[in-house]
Amino acid sequence: MPIVRTSGRLPDGRAIHFYDADPASPRRELAPPGPATTPPASQLRWDAWLDEWVVVATHRQRRTARSDVCPLCPSLGEIPGASYEVVVFDNRYPALPAVTGDPGPAGGHCEVVSYTDDHEVALSGLPLSRVETVVTAWADRTAALNERPDVAQVFCFENRGAVVGATLAHPHGQIYAYPFVPARLRRLAEVADTRWDAHRECVACVTVGREHEDPSRVVVTGEAWTAFVPYAAHWPYEVRVVPHRHVPDLAAVDPWERADLAHVLRRVLGQFDGLFQRPAAYVLSWIQAAARPARPAAHVYAEIVSPMRSPADRKHPAAGELGAGMYVNEMSPERAAAALRGEGR
Ligand SMILES: [Zn+2]
Ligand SMILES: [Zn+2]
């Protein structure tokens, strides 16, 4: 299924990319580029105590409130045209500084990924072919942003539900291109590299093999991807979606593997919605290799975490988690996997 990308600029200068799988979709005449916008200023501050960056982005307090007209619905908001399939465009309210006056990395870049022009449907409710188009858009933007000299790490993600801070109900995700490698991703890479250097062993490859031998934590098995609850899950409902092949990022995933990912991802998200018989609040994060240098240990995967223990009760990180960085998970990962598979419902 060839997916066609049409790139251009919005009237205010922000970049926009349409991804269409259906040959009948409108091939757009995009407005000629306007003057490039200067995004509102944010500030990067270095936390010398924790050896990590913090962004101070006070302008984001003004961003679209939930009651406003939806900016992702066609003809109402930011996206030109009467309909679209998948669209990616520069965020009007970027969290990362494009330019900073302070010493430190500059060049942060924030994009919005709208999965559909239908306000009411979730990623898990889209047709398989559309989820595949979303996966292709993630992969294509990862490749394009990794080429930029000011980008160190591409991070594709979705915050779904008001409880995890989503300001728009319209089904969408985001992409941050950081000018540095954020602390948790740096730590994950260091752990993987250390094991690789010592044993020529990939933690993701080894784990997928073990989960296949004992499938008690597996929730979906695909041809090219497996989804499972981690042995040492931090959150009540947490799933990793990992490719069987050792590939560093979504850009390196083959088209047939993308199709399988769409199938596995859609089923896993459907399982999250099935848990409490309602749309689940979750955070979906793509853990990908940094833009450079190439690391032989890098193995891409998605992490899907719901903070909810039950329909009404969420896990609140408290002193153990926030103060000490030590998680207490009151849900057995094996029981969580069985619940996600729909057993005992
Ligand atoms: Zn909408
Ligand atoms: Zn691997």
Ligand 1 centroid – CA 118 distance (Å): 7
* Ligand number, closest to the Cα atom of 74: 1
pLDDT in tens, 228-240: 999 999 999 999 9
The residue from 172, 244, 263, 299 that is catalytic is 172
Residues 168 and 159 sit within 8 Å (Cβ to Cβ): no
Q: How many angstroms is it from 72 CA to the middle of ligand 1?
A: 5
Q: Which three-class secondary structure string do you get for 239-286?
A: EEEEECCCCCCHHHCCHHHHHHHHHHHHHHHHHHHHHCCCCCCEEEEE
Considering all CA atoms of the chain, what is the largest pairwise distance in Å, rounded to the nearest integer?
A: 58
Reported residue count of the chain is: 345
Instruction: Give the pLDDT confidence score for residue 11 in this predicted structure.
Output: 83
pTM above 0.85, yes or no: yes
User: In one letter, which amino acid is 63?
Assistant: R
Q: Is 244 a catalytic residue?
A: no
Cα 24 to Cα 303: distance, rounded to the nearest angstrom:
34
pLDDT, tens digit, 9 for 90 and up, residues 179-224: 999 999 999 999 999 999 999 999 999 999 999 999 999 999 999 9
Condensed to tens digits (0 to 9), the pLDDT of residues 157-177 reads 999 998 888 888 999 999 999
Ligand lying nearest the CA atom of residue 242: 2
pLDDT of residue 164: 85
Average pLDDT over residues 56-75: 74
pLDDT in tens, 236-284: 999 999 999 999 999 999 999 999 999 999 999 999 999 988 899 999 9
Residue 38 confidence class, pLDDT cut points 50, 70, 90: low
Distance between Cα 301 and ligand 2 center (Å): 10
When pLDDT is cut at 50, 70 and 90, the band that residue 62 belongs to is low
Q: Which two tokens stand for residue 92?
A: 């009007």
Between the two ends of the chain, the Cα-to-Cα distance in Å is 37
pLDDT at 35: 65
